[in-house]
Structure 1
Amino acid sequence: MRRVANPSKVLEGIERSLSSEINKGIQSPFREKEVRMVLKGMGPTKAPGPDGFPTLFFQKYWHIVGKEVLGYCLGVLNEGKEVDLANTTNIVLIPKVQKPTSLVNFRPISLCTVMYKLVAQIIANRM
């Protein structure tokens, strides 16, 4: 039988609460800079979500769609607006081998909208 480490030993030396400075940063309103940084860092040609728009579209046409993208993302993040249809995801099975014969021969991927990925990644960056 394998012994499991004592959790209290593992957590020794780790502060149990956030400093007020870190807490203030986490709770501060999300900004345009964060949205732009996440969008810039996303792979431009990754598989598009159910809406059919790849990240490249938003990166290339930011000068046209940027205001609406910011309004949506910051509305969800700062004002608690509904995510609505941006939360639509397709699950697709990609074959790992030629001529797959069972489910173990497939790899599932989720195709989320760029707007959903933006909001999720901005939150993850804060954490």
Structure 2
Amino acid sequence: MPEIRGGGLDNPFSEEEVWEAIKASPAEKAPGPDGFIGVFFRSCWQTIKHDIMKVFHQFYCIAGDNLATLNSALVVLIPKKDGVATVSDYMPIS
């Protein structure tokens, strides 16, 4: 587990912390819905680390401003079939 520097959990994420988390994640499982497994993140780290760190920086900036925005979502009902008649005929997508 990465060491907490500066005495606070509200510090920005460091590249070292993110890399340690990637190395600690399962190699053959995808941590998110994108389907990229741990092996991908490890083997491509030098290429993707700047983009990944941008994501963590944006998350840090949003969290610092207003955590409520992290808990908001737009729910859309997608019809499962033609001629929907009940709510169960829809698939919710967030």
TM-score, structure 1 as length reference? 0.40
Any gaps of 5 or more consecutive residues in structure 1? 1-21, 84-127
Q: Identify the match of residue 67 of structure 1 among 50, 55, 58.
A: 50
Contact 1:45 1:55 in 2 (8 A): yes
Identity %: 30
Distance 1:80 1:44, change over 3 A: same
Q: Which has the higher helix share?
A: 1
Distance 1:45 1:23, change over 3 A: same
1:50-91 deviation per Cα after TM superposition (whole angstroms, max 9, x unaligned): 322112111101111111011112221x211777xxxxxxxx
User: Larger RCO: Structure 1 or Structure 2 (Cα < 8 Å, ≥ 6 residues apart)?
Assistant: 1
In 1: Cα distance, 2:31 partner to 2:8 partner: 32
In 1: Cα distance, 2:55 partner to 2:25 partner: 18
Q: How many residues align?
A: 61
Structure 1 residue ranges (4+ consecutive) displaced by more than 6 angstroms after TM superposition = none
1:8-30 deviation per Cα after TM superposition (whole angstroms, max 9, x unaligned): xxxxxxxxxxxxxx994223222
RMSD of aligned residue pairs (Cα, Å): 2.7
Contact 1:43 1:55 in 2 (8 A): yes
Q: Which residue is 1:50 aligned to?
A: 33
- Within 5 Å, which residues of 2 pair with 1:28-107? 28-47=11-30, 49-76=32-59, 78-80=60-62
Contact 1:45 1:54 in 2 (8 A): yes
**Code of the aligned partner of 1:80:** I
Structure label with greater radius of gyration: 1
